[in-house]
């Protein structure tokens, strides 16, 4: 893309800078066809992508592309060039939630409403095994109706890379919202780490200042590790036990989302019915946006929009890869690949739980056709199958894929 011209891939006009961090810049954008406002997050690939993060990032991007929630900034599509990744995001007009705190704490009821929306978003993603791991004020935006929208959900692989690089903690990020087990670099449970950050957010909304703060960073870490903080006198009494359970430094005993949504302070104002869509725990996996992946148009735009080859393969080689999104369990896909191999008289070797190699067929001028299949779980029983040409003739690969393998995988063999 040519940022100077202000047009991204003939599709989006790039406008003013909305914000920037270590790895990314966010611009306002406009869809040239529909006129719709978007936020365009531009990430420098070389800075963040490491080979081991690829699978993680692909899975998360696909999940966020497919899942819709009213309190999560929607990822419309992902575009890529050789050096950059462009996340085309829902544009959220109302600024950051924390701008509302300039005059101090919020009223209890509005703090609770934002917190309910935050937990709804977090619970929804956790039920899909997507964790934020980097919840902080900049990621909590408000739309024009004053609803909370969490941004960067699903991009935790990028957040993680930041930490591996040591940059977030050493120079730029404040650990104020980070769970002690992350600071200690113990292995951690993404769900419990997010709950800690939500506890810090709730404290700030109700107190108007941070629970763990010290001008000396080491002392601040100590306070976080010990879960040492004090409530101001004005802090709503009924909210204290919830905050204390969220800011439990031991992730094993820290409260879960299921128990947060049972908490009487949390439930206030929701009515007693348990069918409120705001409740994170009600949204079990499987409740994808209805048109999310069933419709062929979306799958096409997904693969085109995601431009995964551009994203993950610097050679830009497109024809070497074929991708299919299948709503089938992995074992059914592996069984089908074995049966397809038998029919095509190709040797099928299962490598680990994810990879299958298919070899054989007529020798073209480039030798035997060798295809690698990677089966990635996107959601429960939704898999992305990536077929890559490893050896042999590209024309033969394309023909075998489109005539035999793709139709067989999509239906029965």
Applying CB under 6 A, the residues found at the interface with ligand ADE are 18-19, 26, 39, 73, 89-92, 141, 151
Query: Which of 79/337 has CB closer to ligand ADE?
Result: 79
Tell me the two tokens of residue 47: 């800075």
Q: How many CA atoms lie within 13 A of 65 on its CB side?
A: 24
Q: Can you tell me the distance from the alpha carbon of 118 to that of 261, in angstroms, rounded to the nearest whole number?
A: 11
Give the shortest CB-152-to-ligand ADE separation in angstroms. Answer: 8
Do the strands 24-31 and 12-20 form a parallel or antiparallel pair, or are they unpaired?
antiparallel
Query: Which of 141/302 has CB closer to ligand ADE?
Result: 141
What 3-state DSSP class applies to 202?
helix
Catalytic residue among 109, 134, 143, 372: 134
What 3-state DSSP class applies to 384?
strand
Query: Which of 29/199 has CB closer to ligand ADE?
Result: 29
Give the shortest CB-133-to-ligand ADE separation in angstroms. Answer: 17
Query: Which of 149/336 has CB closer to ligand ADE?
Result: 149
Give the shortest CB-70-to-ligand ADE separation in angstroms. Answer: 14
Judge whether 134 counts as a catalytic residue.
yes
Query: Which of 91/229 has CB closer to ligand ADE?
Result: 91
Give the shortest CB-67-to-ligand ADE separation in angstroms. Answer: 16
Contact 130, 63 (CB under 8 A): yes
- What are the residues whose beta carbons fall under 8 Å from the beta carbon of 233, sequence distance 6 or more? none
Give the shortest CB-45-to-ligand ADE separation in angstroms. Answer: 19
Residue whose Cβ sits closest to ligand ADE:
39
Q: Can you tell me the distance from the alpha carbon of 243 to that of 347, in angstroms, rounded to the nearest whole number?
A: 58
Q: Can you tell me the distance from the alpha carbon of 104 to that of 93, in angstroms, rounded to the nearest whole number?
A: 22
Taking alpha carbons only, the member of 359, 374, 358, 370 closest to residue 394 is 370
Active site residues per annotation: 134
């Amino acid at each position: 893309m040519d940022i100077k011209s202000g047009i991204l891939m003939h599709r989006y006009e790039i406008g003013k800078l909305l914000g920037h961090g270590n790895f990314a810049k966010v611009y306002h954008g406009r869809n040239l066809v529909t006129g719709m406002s978007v936020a365009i997050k531009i990430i420098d690939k070389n800075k963040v992508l490491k080979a081991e993060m690829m699978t993680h990032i692909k899975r998360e991007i696909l999940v966020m592309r497919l899942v819709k929630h009213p309190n999560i900034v929607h990822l419309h599509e992902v575009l890529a060039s050789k050096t950059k990744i462009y996340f085309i995001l829902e544009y959220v007009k109302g600024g950051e939630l924390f701008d509302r705190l300039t005059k101090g704490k919020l009223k209890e009821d509005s703090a609770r409403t934002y917190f309910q929306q935050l937990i709804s978003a977090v619970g929804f993603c956790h039920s899909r095994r997507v964790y934020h791991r980097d919840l902080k004020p900049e990621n909590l935006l408000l739309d024009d109706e004053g609803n909370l929208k969490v941004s960067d959900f699903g991009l935790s692989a990028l957040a993680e890379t930041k930490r591996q690089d040591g940059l977030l903690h050493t120079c730029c990020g404040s650990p104020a919202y980070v769970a002690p087990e992350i600071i200690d670099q113990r292995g951690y449970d993404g769900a419990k780490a997010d709950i800690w950050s939500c506890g810090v957010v709730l404290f700030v909304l109700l107190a108007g200042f941070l629970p763990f703060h010290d001008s000396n960073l080491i002392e601040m870490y100590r306070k976080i590790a010990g879960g040492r903080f004090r409530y101001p006198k004005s802090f709503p009494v009924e909210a204290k036990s919830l905050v204390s359970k969220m800011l439990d430094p031991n992730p094993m005993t820290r409260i879960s989302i299921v128990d947060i949504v049972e908490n009487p302070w949390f439930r206030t104002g929701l009515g007693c019915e348990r069918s409120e869509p705001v409740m994170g725990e009600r949204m079990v996996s499987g409740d994808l946006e209805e048109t999310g992946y069933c419709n062929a148009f979306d799958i096409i735009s997904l693969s085109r929009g995601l431009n995964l080859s551009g994203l993950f393969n610097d050679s830009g080689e497109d024809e070497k890869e074929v991708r299919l999104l299948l709503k089938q369990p992995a074992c059914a896909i592996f069984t089908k690949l074995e049966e397809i191999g038998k029919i095509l008289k190709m040797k099928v070797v299962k490598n680990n739980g994810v990879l299958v190699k298919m070899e054989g067929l007529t020798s073209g001028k480039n030798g035997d056709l060798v295809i690698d299949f990677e089966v990635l779980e996107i959601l429960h029983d939704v898999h992305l199958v990536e077929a890559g040409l490893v050896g042999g003739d590209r024309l033969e690969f394309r023909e075998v894929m489109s005539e035999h393998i793709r139709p067989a995988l999509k239906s029965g063999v």
